[in-house]
Amino acid sequence: MPDRLKPLSFTEREKLRFIRWVLLLINAAEAAGIGALRREHLHSLLFLSFASSSFYGIRPLRLRANRTPHGPYYRQAHVALGLLAMSDLVDVRRFEPHQSDDNTFQFEGTFGATLDGLTVGRVLREAPQGDRLYRYLLDLCLGTVTAALEDRPENDPKSRERMDKVFTGDLTYQQALARPTQMLFVDDGEPGSVTPTTVRLTRISDRLSKRVNVNRRDVLGVYQKMLAERQI
């Protein structure tokens, strides 16, 4: 009889969960109109998605980002991108390898899903957890696009600046930057702890619910619009 399959360890499960998160985020960015993601925006969206995922009832990944002049950087993200690219699930354009003194950046480029990547994404969404994660990431990307492009043509360079404000103005990101460590934490690791982003999303939700029936996408959109306008 064949040997029984060895169960995956927690670390192995988290790595697979992260690869799924990255692929679905790339798919959601394209569906929302952001298009192929540049390296810095991929990492910023990852941080932003971890910071606000608990508002959607999704457990964030326990990953630390490096503090860099270009924003948060997840080394594991480039490992995941390499695996996805070699599997022909993600297309890498403008590939530019380079070395860095702190060994953070492995390569630059823009990342978009291939046809196979979109197909695998649809398969992942057939599972309830995959579908819930994708819907959340799509809401996140749609809110970012709406905040950046509202009342502006799509090719307006200031739209990109407003999108960057959404990334860098996030409350959890600002809290992480205020700490002296070179590692950026989404949370403190305490059981039941919530991020500053989730706290503000909950407050916005409470205020909006007193007036009209709202969904979580509405709340997330309000939050991101306020970040883009620097009013939060």
CA terminus-to-terminus distance, the chain: 62
Domain map (residue ranges) of the chain: 10-228
Taking only the tens of pLDDT, the chain with its 232 residues reads: 455 667 777 777 888 889 999 999 999 999 998 888 888 889 999 999 999 999 999 988 877 888 887 788 888 888 898 899 999 999 988 877 766 665 556 677 889 999 999 999 999 999 999 999 999 999 999 988 888 776 565 566 667 778 888 888 899 999 888 888 888 888 655 555 688 999 999 999 998 888 777 789 989 999 998 888 875 4
Distance from C-alpha of 222 to C-alpha of 200, rounded to nearest angstrom: 11
pTM attached to this predicted model: 0.87
Distance from C-alpha of 117 to C-alpha of 20, rounded to nearest angstrom: 11
Q: Sheet harboring 37-38: ordered strands across?
A: 37-38, 107-113, 90-97
